[in-house]
Amino acid sequence: MSRIYLDHNATTPLAPEVFESMRPWLTEEFGNASSAHGFGQRARAAVEAAREEVAGLLRAAPGEITFTSGGTEADNLALFGAARLRRERGRHLVASAVEHHAVLHALEALQREGFETTLVPVTPQGLVEAGRFLEALRPDTTVAALMLANNEIGTLQPVAELGRELRRRGVVFHTDAVNAVGKVPVDTQALGVDTLALSAHKFYGPKGVGAFYLRKGVQVQPVQYGGEQERALRPGTLNVPGIVGLGAAARLARRELSEVGARLAALRDRLQRGLVERVPGVHVMGAGAPRTPNTLDCCFEGVHGETLILTLDMQGIAVSSGAACAAGSTDPSHVLAAMGVPAELAQSAVRMSLGRGTTEAEVDRVLEALPAAVQRLRRLAPGAAGPAR
């Protein structure tokens, strides 16, 4: 029986056309993009073509795109780079309580440098209220961060609603768009953000490469030093094959976004309806809120999430408990905790994230296997009385 992969928010398979675009740059085209000779010039041209593709996906200018090793580096460059450059103006930072750890841990590090952070709470649906976010600003606030799409539950945050006001107040506004790019339209002009992070492997590109958007006229301080690559903002020899792959993935996303998004939303809704109908005591996280079309996060009363994940894995179905970077942690999800989900229920969370290769037959197979696994695990649970209906 074929395996089913429903963990596309953790990583996506490399699209065949992306791999083919990378192939020459992994073999015969090995030049350093900073070299002046023909090998280097061809590599530089490929890098700049990829920069144009990424800019086109984001409705940005090519000069606003800097290549990085991924979303984490881009988040760090945005936060450390903006906050440190403005430390004489103010040392207060604002972010949501459900940010990715790449943002939250960067903010914690900045606190050790003397900065102060306010984390804005979310509603039980996992949404930040724009008014509450603005209330957290102070005269000494210099940087604010709000992710575009949550990686665990898929909720889409009101970034565009906040962009214009934050710009008016002179606050640098960053969005972690790692789990939004390639799933929903991302228009930097409409969002009104100053900086943005994305990662290629979240939308069928290679691992180890991403991009940092920096709006023209906004300045950040480098966090790495050593060369003049990427306008000295991100020095180091350019990962030409990865960058070419990112460009190809951006081109693919532009072509497929609308059609694939609609199809995945229908499949996600089919899966959600089926689980609600077949599994007593299931709780859909973020239900009713705007979400990325591929993401479904559920808690199952009376079941431990990791045990359910391993049970499904033995049946050839790959799902997850939430953020891949937190795998192995025994603590409940900080996202679900911020939503007010009790710790015991949060421990039962399972995230199912669909991708461009997901089929109706696969969804139907999950709808047979998952309810049966939940029922079996509940029977085995000591003192189990069954979930509330």
Enzyme catalytic residues: 325
**By C-alpha distance, which of 259, 214, 257, 251 is closest to 56?**
251
3 state SS of 91: coil
Q: CB burial class (10 A; 0-12, 13-18, 19+) of residue 176?
A: buried
Q: What is the dihedral of CA 241, 243, 245, 246, to 10 degrees?
A: 170
The strand pair at 116-120 and 141-145 is best described as: unpaired
Q: Taking a C-beta distance cutoff of 8 angstroms, is the pair 150, 98 a contact?
A: yes
Number of Cα atoms under 13 Å in the Cβ half of residue 247 = 22
CA atoms within 13 A on the CB side of 151: 31
Quickly tell me which residue has 């992969």 as its tokens: 5
Distance, CA of 280 to CA of 267 (rounded, Å): 21
Helix, strand, coil percentages, rounded to 5, for the chain? 45, 15, 40
CA-to-CA dists, residue 75 to 137, 147, 179, 213, angstroms: 20, 10, 13, 10
Cβ atoms 215, 64 nearer than 8 A: yes
Between CA 158 and CA 184, with CA 282 as vertex, the angle to 5 degrees is 30
For residue 376, what are its two tokens? 């079996």
- CB-CB neighbours of 154 under 10 Å: 27
Long-range contacts of 115-120 (CB under 8 A, 24+ apart): 115/83, 115/87, 115/91, 116/91, 116/92, 117/92, 117/93, 118/92, 118/93, 118/94, 119/95, 120/94, 120/95, 120/96
DSSP three-state, residue 58: helix
Q: Which amino acid is at 330?
A: T
